[in-house]
C-alpha cells in the first residue's frame, strides 16, 4: 500500500484529503503543524507528500526545501493563492506539482496517482528505500552504514551496526544470545555470548531514550532479544 503524508493545518481540508486518498487505497498519515510534518517527513518513508503552504511554525516553502535536501519523494504543494504558485516556481524548491484551493478531491487523487506512477518509472522499478530502515525516530542507512537518531548521526562500530541491522530487519522475532552470536560474529573466534550482551547494551545506549525502558530492542527474559516495530 502506498503511503501518503498530508501536512495541512485546516482540519476540514486535511480530513477530506485523507478520506479521499484512503478510499482510493492509500495509507495516509496526517500532521497539522509545519514542525511535526517536517519531522515526520524526515524520519519516515512516504511515497508522496501533500504539503500545504501556509502552516503554523514552519511554512511549506521551508519544509519543501528541507525535504528536498535529503529525500527523493514527490511533493504536491497546496496553496490558497494563485500568486503563491509563481513564488514556488520562482524559488525552484523542487516541488513536483502545485494545486490551488479549492480543488476537487478527485483532482487531488488523480495528481497523486500520476506522480507516484511517474516516480516509479523514473526509478525503473528499483526500490532504493530498501537500503533505508526507518522506524519512529531511528533511521538506518544500510548502504552507507550510518545510523541517525532523531536526525542526529550516531557512530556505530562494525559489530554494533551489524547487530542492529540484523534485529531491525527481522522485527518482532525473538533471537537467543547464541543465535545472535552465531549470526553476527559467526566464524570470528573473538568473544563469546557475553559479547552479545555487551553489544546490546552499547546499541541501546546509542538508540534508546531510556535504556531501562527500551523502545526498540526488548529483552525477553529467558529467551533473548526482540526488535519491536
Ligand atoms: Ca494552511
Cα(115) to centroid(ligand 1), Å? 22
Cα(135) to centroid(ligand 1), Å? 28
Of 6-10, 58-62, 99-103, 118-122, give the lowest mean pLDDT range. 118-122
Other Cβ atoms within 10 Å of 215 Cβ, number? 15
pTM of the predicted protein model: 0.55
What is the full DSSP assignment across 31-78?
E-SHHHHHHHHHHS--SEEEEESS-SSS-HHHHHHHHHHH----EEEE
Given this model, what pLDDT does residue 199 score? 96
Cα(72) to centroid(ligand 1), Å? 24
Tell me the domains of the chain and their CATH numbers: 3-126 (3.40.50.2300), 130-227 (1.10.10.10)
Whether the per-residue pLDDT at 128 is higher than 70: the answer is: no
**pLDDT tens digits, 177-218:** 999 998 888 766 666 788 999 999 999 999 999 999 999 999
CA 141, 145, 147, 151 dihedral sign is negative
Cα(52) to centroid(ligand 1), Å? 6
Whether the per-residue pLDDT at 74 is higher than 70: the answer is: yes
Cα(11) to centroid(ligand 1), Å? 9
Three-state DSSP class for residue 22: helix
220 is written with which cell numbers?
A: 525477553
**pLDDT tens digits, 11-69:** 999 999 999 999 999 999 999 999 999 999 999 999 999 999 999 989 999 999 899 88
What does the alpha-carbon distance between residue 164 and residue 204 come to, in Å, rounded to a whole number? 9
Cα(40) to centroid(ligand 1), Å? 18
Amino acid at each position: 500500500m502506498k503511503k501518503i503524508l498530508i501536512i495541512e493545518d485546516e482540519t476540514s481540508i486535511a480530513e477530506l484529503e485523507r478520506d479521499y486518498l484512503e478510499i482510493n487505497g492509500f495509507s495516509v498519515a496526517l500532521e497539522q503543524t509545519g514542525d511535526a510534518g517536517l519531522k515526520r517527513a524526515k524520519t519516515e518513508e512516504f511515497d508522496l507528500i501533500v504539503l500545504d503552504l501556509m502552516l503554523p511554525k514552519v511554512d511549506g516553502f521551508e519544509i519543501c526545501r528541507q525535504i528536498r535536501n535529503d529525500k527523493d519523494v514527490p511533493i504536491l504543494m497546496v496553496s490558497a493563492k494563485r500568486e503563491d504558485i509563481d513564488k514556488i516556481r520562482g524559488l525552484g524548491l523542487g516541488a513536483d506539482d502545485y494545486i490551488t484551493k479549492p480543488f476537487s478531491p478527485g483532482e487531488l487523487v488523480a495528481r497523486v496517482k500520476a506522480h507516484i506512477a511517474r516516480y516509479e518509472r523514473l526509478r525503473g522499478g528499483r526500490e532504493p528505500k530498501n537500503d533505508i530502515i526507518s522506524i519512529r525516530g531511528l533511521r538506518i542507512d544500510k548502504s552507507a552504514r550510518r545510523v541517525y537518531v532523531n536526525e542526529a548521526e550516531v557512530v556505530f562500530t562494525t559489530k554494533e551496526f551489524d547487530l542492529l541491522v540484523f534485529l531491525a530487519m527481522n522485527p518482532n522475532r525473538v533471537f537467543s544470545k547464541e543465535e545472535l552470536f552465531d549470526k553476527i560474529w559467526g566464524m570470528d573466534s573473538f568473544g563469546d555470548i557475553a559479547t552479545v550482551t555487551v553489544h546490546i547494551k552499547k546499541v541501546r545506549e546509542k538508540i534508546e531514550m531510556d535504556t531501562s525502558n527500551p523502545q526498540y530492542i526488548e529483552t525477553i527474559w529467558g529467551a533473548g532479544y526482540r526488535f519491536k516495530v
